[in-house]
């Protein structure tokens, strides 16, 4: 009798979990590799086409929504499993480093090899927080991942040469590291949403201090997915919907009209402000940057616009609102915008 009750409480054995995870991983890879075809098929079924504003907006939504949800689910599950190996205190100590700023440098450097857009970087940002990584360090990653990755650097190198790519790398890392340090120094952990603070506080009470079995590790990963993905998915879909509409309907000529080399002093902060409501990744915005420069826009102003698009997008802020309270979001925007403004000024003066 007791054994039957126990089996009801744990319907899946370790072997069933392993088999399910292998099948799930294979399906995840297949689904992720077919995102473009899926979005193309959707706009085809709807009678839309590329180049049409509505077609571009719909394609963007049906490409990015499953992409972000797939990344969120996979990364949150992995972080839930990994958390069973490392206590929050140990993880915090490991990534914060023995010297001030080491963790920020490591997190910003990690962003170089993770070609995520701002919304795609949020799953790992949430995973870092849930593992107990310091707030400032997680922000260094969140800023660096979309803004300073190998996709952006390769495209900048191919279009503008190594000097522009190298300067962008150095200044982008500078913004990510310094912004994270400032946010960390402000001690704003109280502005994390309550559910994030609860996760950050440690592992589940019933297993705290115990040695996990692999079955318990997998169950912890699944619990992480239910708790986090279940809370943020409406914000993800809403944010991407706004980004898709803007992506399809904002014209390039309008943006180029006040970004010229002889534009007034306010053109640089205006370009940063204009970039915030938009949403795309580096691969999507750099061709726009090239087009704007070809129309006479100043390089520093356009790159500042690009950095605000991929590091301070409105859809990203909407998704982050489920994780952060408004004072922290406002601080994040202010600190990063200040760094981007400095980058734009340096580019305009040097090049």
Q: Where are the domains of the chain?
A: 12-350
pLDDT band at 87 (very low <50, low <70, confident <90, very high): low
pLDDT for 2 equals 42
Q: What is the pLDDT of residues 322-343, one digit of tens each?
A: 788 899 889 988 888 888 898 8
8 Å CB contact between 256 and 292: yes
pLDDT exceeds 70 at position 309 = yes
8 Å CB contact between 95 and 103: yes
Which has the closest alpha carbon to 319: 119, 149, 181, 135?
119
Q: Which comes out higher in pLDDT, residue 100 or 351?
A: 351
> How far is it, in rounded angstroms, from Cα 204 to Cα 73?
20
Partners of 192 in the β-ladder: 324
Whether the full predicted model's pTM is greater than 0.75, yes or no, is no
pLDDT for 271 equals 87
Q: Nearest 5°: CA angle at 115, between 25 and 129? A: 75
pLDDT for 280 equals 64
pLDDT exceeds 50 at position 308 = yes
Highest mean pLDDT among 73-77, 81-85, 196-200, 287-291: 73-77
Sign of CA dihedral 322, 134, 78, 172: positive
pLDDT exceeds 90 at position 70 = no
The owner of tokens 């054995």 is 13
When mean pLDDT is compared across 57-61, 66-70, 279-283, the lowest value belongs to 279-283
pLDDT exceeds 70 at position 169 = yes
Q: What is the pLDDT of residues 273-300, one digit of tens each?
A: 888 777 666 656 776 777 777 777 888 8
pLDDT exceeds 90 at position 106 = no
């Amino acid at each position: 009798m007791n054994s039957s009750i126990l089996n009801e409480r744990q319907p899946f054995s370790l072997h069933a979990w392993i088999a399910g995870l292998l099948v799930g991983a294979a399906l995840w890879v297949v689904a992720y590799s077919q995102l473009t075809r899926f979005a193309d098929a959707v706009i085809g079924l709807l009678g839309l086409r590329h180049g049409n504003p509505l077609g571009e907006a719909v394609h963007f939504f049906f490409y990015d929504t499953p992409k972000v949800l797939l990344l969120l689910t996979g990364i949150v599950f992995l972080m839930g499993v990994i958390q069973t190996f490392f206590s929050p205190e140990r993880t915090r100590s490991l990534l914060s480093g023995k010297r001030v700023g080491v963790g920020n440098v490591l997190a910003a450097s990690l962003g170089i090899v993770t070609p995520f857009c701002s919304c795609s970087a949020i799953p790992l940002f949430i995973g870092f927080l849930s593992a107990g990584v310091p707030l400032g360090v997680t922000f260094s990653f969140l800023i660096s991942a979309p803004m300073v990755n190998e996709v952006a650097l390769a495209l900048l190198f191919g279009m503008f040469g190594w000097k522009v790519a190298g300067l962008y790398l150095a200044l982008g890392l500078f913004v990510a590291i310094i912004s994270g340090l400032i946010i960390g120094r402000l001690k704003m952990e109280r502005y994390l949403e309550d559910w994030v603070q609860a996760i950050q506080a440690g592992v589940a009470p019933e297993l705290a201090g115990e040695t996990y079995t692999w079955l318990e590790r997998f169950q912890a990963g699944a619990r992480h997915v239910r708790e986090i993905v279940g809370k943020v998915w409406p914000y993800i879909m809403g944010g991407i919907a706004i980004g898709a509409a803007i992506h399809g309907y904002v014209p390039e000529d309008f943006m180029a009209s006040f970004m010229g080399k002889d534009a007034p002093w306010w053109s640089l902060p205006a370009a940063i402000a204009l970039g915030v409501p938009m949403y795309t990744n580096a691969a999507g915005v750099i061709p726009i940057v090239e087009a704007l420069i070809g129309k006479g826009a100043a390089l520093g102003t356009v790159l500042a616009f690009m950095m605000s698009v991929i590091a301070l997008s409105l859809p990203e802020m909407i998704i982050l609102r489920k994780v952060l309270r408004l004072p922290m979001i406002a601080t994040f925007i202010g600190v990063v915008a200040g760094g981007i403004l400095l980058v734009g000024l340096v580019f305009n003066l040097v090049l």
